[in-house]
Structure 1
Amino acid sequence: MKLLQPCIIAFAMYSKIPMPCIDWNKENMKYAMCFFPLVGAVLGALLYLWAMLTGLLHTGVILRAAICTLLPLLITGGIHLDGFCDTVDALSSRQSTERKLEILSDPHIGAFGVMGCTAYLLLSFALWAELTFTPKVLLILAIGSVLSRSLSGLSVVSFRCAKGSGLLAAFSDGAQKKNVRIVMLIFISMCIAAMAAISPIVGGTTAAAALLVFLYYRVVSYRVFGGITGDLAGWFLCLCELAMLAATVATGGLML
């Protein structure tokens, strides 16, 4: 029962899946981040099932790619894409660190955020349309949804926070960092091992793409913002999943 409440918090925060109302107190938030990858497991399973269904129904490529692009938004409520847009606005502002952090906190979206969002969705749609839909390729991407959230969760309990307030700071401060870090590393190790076991080339390349984006996330966050925020974590997750999709598209044909 003690672990059920942190799980509910994780799904309530990072998904639109209906959850019962509970207190977001310090005790319940200690291990909430441990369950963040499970949101990715649900999303990955739904993407896999949708892709398999389209094969049985002989659905056209456009509809298949459109639903694959939109399904993450339906499940997550766009929380990560919102952070992506805010981060694009901040990075494009060419302002000081303090001003960039203010832009991240601004609830309004700017022109660069709109352009970034449009480009992201368009590129995601194009990549899904180009993907070689096979069970193994889809399974690698489903696992990738867990990997991206495990890496994001690891950053929350490992990277320096740019601000002392906000939801990410609350999750970071309330977490049992050592234990959560161990759980995230276990998730990451299992995901990479599973992806490589399915296909050393495709799975290994896809996992490597995620790790490279994670490194880029760390460098940009510290150099430009002085640490991470919730928006930056969302920006990373979007870039990570786009990079994994691109890597799978580039190498997926090798599994035929």
Structure 2
Amino acid sequence: MLKDILPAARFLTIVPLPGGGTMLSERAITRSAAAFVAVGLLQGLLLIGVEMVAGRLFHPDLALWLVVLALVLVSGGFHLDGLADTFDALAVKSSGERERDLLRRLEVMKDSATGVMGLLAIFFALILKYYALKELSHSSYAVYYSSLLLLPAFGKWAMVTAMYRAAPARPEGLGRLFIGAVGRRELLWNALALLLPLVAVGWLLAGFLPSYSAIFYLLLPPALYLFGRLAVAFSRRQFGGMSGDTLGAVNELAEILFLLLVLLWLRLSVW
């Protein structure tokens, strides 16, 4: 898995890395999915660094916006673009003919222009992340910083689960290198990469939340796994399968879902 981290980071981020000019084989790109969660954890460390620096220099609200901006910029807005294209495609009105509707949605998804629904999806995704993080920032440092660390990792985990045994909506595009091509090897490596920090986070939070809070963090991976599989079923119905754009949408929606679940758990723990 370690040898997959660099190719995965090159694929998921715009950070200039060694070997950027080297062409990877399609098989190497597919295998790099084994390190998606690991790259997500590195992105989480970046978010923590941005928050710690910006929090000392600016108002807390501005610091939070810079954290959200860092989350967007590190991936080049790659996943937000997929979210926008997916919602634009979903806005296509049904003609009553399934095959015709599928082709029309895929055409809209492939179009480089962003429509109103796509812009609204981006707007609300950023707003939801900002206010969720703002509410989390009022909890303990351990909860807040662990959430920043795990936020991108859970987005990548949901993407990998959606890639697993899915069917591509179209034969071309980068998505076909992962959709249905990701197997047990990639799934298990990502599960392991996610489990280790979750155990550490559960241990760190033991002094701030009820002892049974560790159970919640261990239930998060299967919950997001279920979300990924539901996204596959939904995409099959709406688009005939998964695409790179729908994977980007899964990443963005999974990050929001993760934050909302943590907030809900904190509220229930207080009760």
Give the TM bin, normalised by the shorter chain. Answer: 0.7 to 0.9
Aligned runs of 1:27-176 on 2, under 5 Å? 27-53=27-53, 57=56, 59-95=58-94, 96-131=101-136, 132-137=138-143, 138-172=145-179
Q: State the identity %.
A: 23
SS in 2 for 1:159: coil
TM-score (norm 1): 0.84
Counterpart of 1:74, as a letter, is L
After TM superposition, give the deviation of residue 12 of structure 1 in Å: 1.8
User: Given the superposition, is the C-alpha separation of residues 112 and 242 from structure 1 closer, same or farther in structure 2, using an over 3 Å criterion?
Assistant: same
Counterpart of 2:170, as a letter, is K
Structure 2: state its 5+ residue gaps: 95-100, 206-212
Structure 1: state its 5+ residue gaps: none
After TM superposition, give the deviation of residue 66 of structure 1 in Å: 0.6
| Separation (CA, whole Å) in 1 of partners of 2:62 and 2:215 | 29
Counterpart of 2:149, as a letter, is A
Contact preservation (8 Å) 2:158, 2:228: yes
Q: Deviations over 1:9-43 (max 9, x none)?
A: 32222101102221121353242111222221121
| Separation (CA, whole Å) in 1 of partners of 2:215 and 2:177 | 39
| Separation (CA, whole Å) in 2 of partners of 1:102 and 1:112 | 15
Counterpart of 2:233, as a letter, is V
Q: Deviations over 1:139-174 (max 9, x none)?
A: 13412422321231232232222222210102347x
Contact preservation (8 Å) 1:195, 1:204: no
Contact preservation (8 Å) 1:92, 1:112: yes
User: Given the superposition, is the C-alpha separation of residues 98 and 155 from structure 1 closer, same or farther in structure 2, using an over 3 Å criterion?
Assistant: same
Counterpart of 1:219, as a letter, is A
Counterpart of 1:145, as a letter, is P
| Separation (CA, whole Å) in 2 of partners of 1:210 and 1:27 | 26
Counterpart of 2:44, as a letter, is G
User: 1:24 aligned to 2:24?
Assistant: yes
| Separation (CA, whole Å) in 2 of partners of 1:59 and 1:251 | 29
The root-mean-square deviation of aligned C-alpha atoms, in Å, is 2.8
Aligned position for 2:13: 15
Contact preservation (8 Å) 2:85, 2:118: yes
User: Given the superposition, is the C-alpha separation of residues 59 and 211 from structure 1 closer, same or farther in structure 2, using an over 3 Å criterion?
Assistant: farther
User: 1:187 aligned to 2:193?
Assistant: yes
SS in 1 for 2:74: helix
Relative to structure 2, which stretch is displaced further, 114-123 or 245-254? 245-254
Contact preservation (8 Å) 2:50, 2:70: no
Q: Deviations over 1:173-225 (max 9, x none)?
A: 7x563422332333344455455444437636765763453243133112212
User: Given the superposition, is the C-alpha separation of residues 159 and 201 from structure 1 closer, same or farther in structure 2, using an over 3 Å criterion?
Assistant: same
| Separation (CA, whole Å) in 2 of partners of 1:58 and 1:246 | 28
Contact preservation (8 Å) 1:37, 1:149: yes
User: Given the superposition, is the C-alpha separation of residues 31 and 209 from structure 1 closer, same or farther in structure 2, using an over 3 Å criterion?
Assistant: closer
User: Given the superposition, is the C-alpha separation of residues 154 and 188 from structure 1 closer, same or farther in structure 2, using an over 3 Å criterion?
Assistant: farther
Counterpart of 1:244, as a letter, is F
Contact preservation (8 Å) 2:79, 2:252: yes
Relative to structure 2, which stretch is displaced further, 25-34 or 39-48? 25-34
Aligned length: 251
Q: Deviations over 1:32-75 (max 9, x none)?
A: 111222221121112223334455x2742311221121111111
